[in-house]
Amino acid sequence: MKRGIIVLILATILFSVLGLLSVYAETEMIDVVKLKNGSIIKGKILEIRPQEHVKIELRDGSIFVFKMEEVESITRETPKEDSTKKNMAIMFNPVQLGLLAAMGMLDVTVEIQRSLGKYVSTYVTPELFYFEIERRDRRYYAYGFGSTLGIYLMPMGKGLDGVYLRAGGAVGIIDSDWLFFGLEGMLGYQAVFKSGFALAFGIGARYYSFGYLNLALEIAKIGYAW
């Protein structure tokens, strides 16, 4: 069971890295046809016949054909980002905090997200915790701190908003002398509203080298995006 979950997390991280590389390898560009009458047409060029014509498809699917004698120039450019798009977010999980507090434990996390484009975001999550662990054949409550760094894949292409696949790695210290590492993978949905309010839900798994392996649920994680 444990081995299967660890393999799942590692596979998720590998998939995320490959997805990140593919996104950067396929940077979206648009073709720009400027006509001699001053009109500017943007889309995807389907065909160019020197001395004859250029055929271009617009984003709405419309196709236009212009004679080369009408064309002043043909260039390519990167689409401009929407000025209303949220590129940063800070999130925390009050439900998780409350549930653990009810059991006499503590896990305070603040997640900072940064959009790298329509399909990829990165995140860092500082963490302070107090919970029961097993070490040297005994169980006891210990304090610790750490940080998780990873990426979000956003298949809907809406930046910080939409369905996500998340994968990351953690490192930290317990009892001021015990270094640990961790892995996580999660599938979920994050909604970012015009006001900047953000709400997220997710399910996945986390593994820590001190033997802590669990199903991870993020219920009503909230925050602010700008």
Across the range 186-208, mean pLDDT stands at 92
Residue 26 is predicted with a pLDDT of: 46
The arithmetic mean of pLDDT across residues 184-189, rounded, is: 94
* Residue 226 Cα distances to 73, 84, 161, 196, 198, angstroms: 37, 9, 12, 6, 10
Q: How confident is the model at residue 17 (pLDDT cuts 50, 70, 90)?
A: low
> Residue 25 has what pLDDT?
46
Each as own residue / partner, the long-range contacts of residues 210-215 (CB below 8 Å, 24 or more positions apart, any chain) are 210/133, 210/134, 210/135, 210/174, 210/178, 210/180, 211/133, 211/134, 212/133, 212/182, 213/2, 213/5, 213/6
Neighbours of 151 (CB within 10 A): 20
Mean pLDDT of the chain: 82
Higher local confidence (pLDDT), 26 or 139: 139
* Three-state secondary structure call for residue 118: coil
Q: How confident is the model at residue 103 (pLDDT cuts 50, 70, 90)?
A: confident
Stretch (H or E) spanning 153: strand 138-153
pLDDT score of 212 more than 50:
yes
Per-residue pLDDT, 134: 66
Q: How confident is the model at residue 99 (pLDDT cuts 50, 70, 90)?
A: confident
For residues 136, 129, 13 and 185, what is the CA-based torsion angle, rounded to 10 degrees? 110
Structural domains of the chain ordered from first start: 30-77 (2.30.30.100), 83-225 (2.40.160)
pTM of the model: 0.64
Residue 6 has what pLDDT?
A: 53
8 pLDDT higher than 70: no
Q: Is residue 12 predicted with pLDDT exceeding 60?
A: no
Amino acid 10: pLDDT: 55
Nearest to residue 8, comparing CAs of 160, 171, 213, 225? 213
